[in-house]
Amino acid sequence: MTTPQAPTTFFRSRWVDVPDGVREVPGAPLPQGFRAAGAAAGIKPSGGLDVGLLVSDSEETTSAARFTRSGTAAPPVLVTRDRARLNALKAIAVNSGNANAATGGRGMDEAARMQGAGAMMGRTTEDRVAVCSTGVIGVQLDGHKVVRGLLEAGKALAPEGIDDFQQSIMTTDLFEKRGTIEIDLPGGTVRLAAQSKGAGMIQPSFATMLCFIETDAIVAAETAELLLGVCVKRSFDRITVDGQLSTNDTAILLCGGASGIEVEPESEGELLFGQALDALLRQLAIDICRDGEGAQRVGRVTVRGGHGPNVERVGRAIANSPLVKTALYGGDPNWGRIAQAIGLALPDTAPLAYDIAIEGVQVCVAGNAVGHDEDDIKARVAREEVEYAIGLPGDGFETEVFFSDLGHEYITINAEYTT
- Spatial contact of 129 and 89, defined as CB atoms under 8 Å apart: yes
- Tell me, yes or no, if 208 is annotated catalytic: yes
- Mean pLDDT rounded to a whole number for the chain: 92
Count of other CB atoms within 10 angstroms of residue 27: 10
- Spatial contact of 146 and 41, defined as CB atoms under 8 Å apart: yes
For the chain, what percent of residues have pLDDT higher than 90?
A: 83
SS (H, E, C) the chain: CCCCCCCCCCCCCCCCCCCCCEEECCCCCCCCCEEEEEECCCCCCCCCCCEEEEEECCCCCEEEEEECCCCCCCHHHHHHHHHCCCCCCCEEEEEEEECCCCCHHHHHHHHHHHHHHHHHHHCCCHHHEEEEEEEECCCCCCHHHHHHHHHHHHHHCEHHHHHHHHHHCCCCCCCCEEEEEEEEECCEEEEEEEEEECCCCCCCCCCCCEEEEEECCEECHHHHHHHHHHHHHCCHHHEECCCCCCCCCEEEEEECCCCCCEECCCCHHHHHHHHHHHHHHHHHHHHHHHCCCCCCCEEEEEEEECCHHHHHHHHHHHHHCHHHHHHHHCCCCCCHHHHHHHHHHCCCCCCCCCEEEECCEEEEECCEECCCCHHHHHHHCCCCEEEEEEECCCCCEEEEEEEECCCHHHHHHHHCCCC
Per-residue model confidence as pLDDT tens digits over 258-273: 999 999 999 999 999 9
Radius of gyration of the chain, Cα coordinates, nearest whole angstrom: 22
Q: What does the longest C-alpha to C-alpha distance in the chain come to?
A: 67
Region 75-98: mean pLDDT is 97
Query: What's the pLDDT score for residue 3?
Result: 46
Q: Is the pLDDT of residue 200 over 60?
A: no
Q: Is the pLDDT of residue 411 over 80?
A: no
> What is the rounded distance in angstroms from the CA atom of residue 212 to the CA atom of residue 220?
18
In angstroms, the Cα distances linking 290 to 6, 199, 316, 323 are 10, 8, 17, 18
The structure's pTM equals: 0.92
Q: Is the pLDDT of residue 206 over 60?
A: no
| Catalytic choice (68, 208, 215, 240) | 208
> What is the rounded distance in angstroms from the CA atom of residue 46 to the CA atom of residue 40?
10
Residue type for position 350: A
Query: What's the pLDDT score for residue 196?
Result: 94
Per-residue model confidence as pLDDT tens digits over 399-409: 999 998 886 56
Q: Is the pLDDT of residue 204 over 70?
A: no
Per-residue pLDDT band for 199 (boundaries 50, 70, 90) equals low
- Spatial contact of 413 and 299, defined as CB atoms under 8 Å apart: no
Query: What's the pLDDT score for residue 387?
Result: 98
